[in-house]
Amino acid sequence: MTFARKPYIRKPQPLYAPVERRGTYANQPFSEKVVGVPKTKRAAGGVLEQLHKARLVELGCMCCQMALGVCTPGVELHHRRAGMGWGRGDWLTLIPLCPEHHRGATGVHGLGTKGFPKHYGFTEQDMLDKALQLLNATTKGGTP
């Protein structure tokens, strides 16, 4: 009796399993996509999130508006950091900032969450409230 090993031959497997698509907006006209509110809060890239981000970009830099009184186009969306812990907030806590006030030496990431209010006299929450006020939106607590 011999105990010789038999070679292992792997059975061919499909690379990707077929994906069944259900519940997408693919079959609806564009007007229903925008007007229809999803039943649940959608993942990143949802219709309401994209509309909110587009409206924020049109506002311009909140820091330039509050500190200098000018509207600066070409903004980057910043997640409010103060009081959020290690994670980022959801898309309702986005603040439009120009590149200098976002990533620059005098910006939120350059000065930090403690240095930014000392330098400018207002916080990230103040800028978020101003942006939501300009959009006529409500904060998470439901207060206008």
In whole angstroms, what is the distance from residue 66 CA to residue 30 CA? 36
> What pLDDT shows up at residue 136?
83
The whole-model pTM stands at 0.60
Q: Does residue 51 register a pLDDT over 70?
A: yes
70 domain residue, yes or no: yes
8 domain residue, yes or no: no
30 domain residue, yes or no: no
Domain of residue 97: give its range. 66-136
22 domain residue, yes or no: no
Domains: count for the chain: 1
96 domain residue, yes or no: yes
pLDDT digits (tens, 9 = 90+) for 106-127: 898 899 888 989 999 999 889 9
In this predicted model, which residue has the larger pLDDT, 127 or 18? 127
128 domain residue, yes or no: yes
137: confidence class by pLDDT, cuts 50, 70, 90: low
Angstrom distances, CA of residue 70 to CA of 5, 59, 109, 133:
78, 11, 21, 17
48: helix, coil or strand? helix
73: confidence class by pLDDT, cuts 50, 70, 90: confident
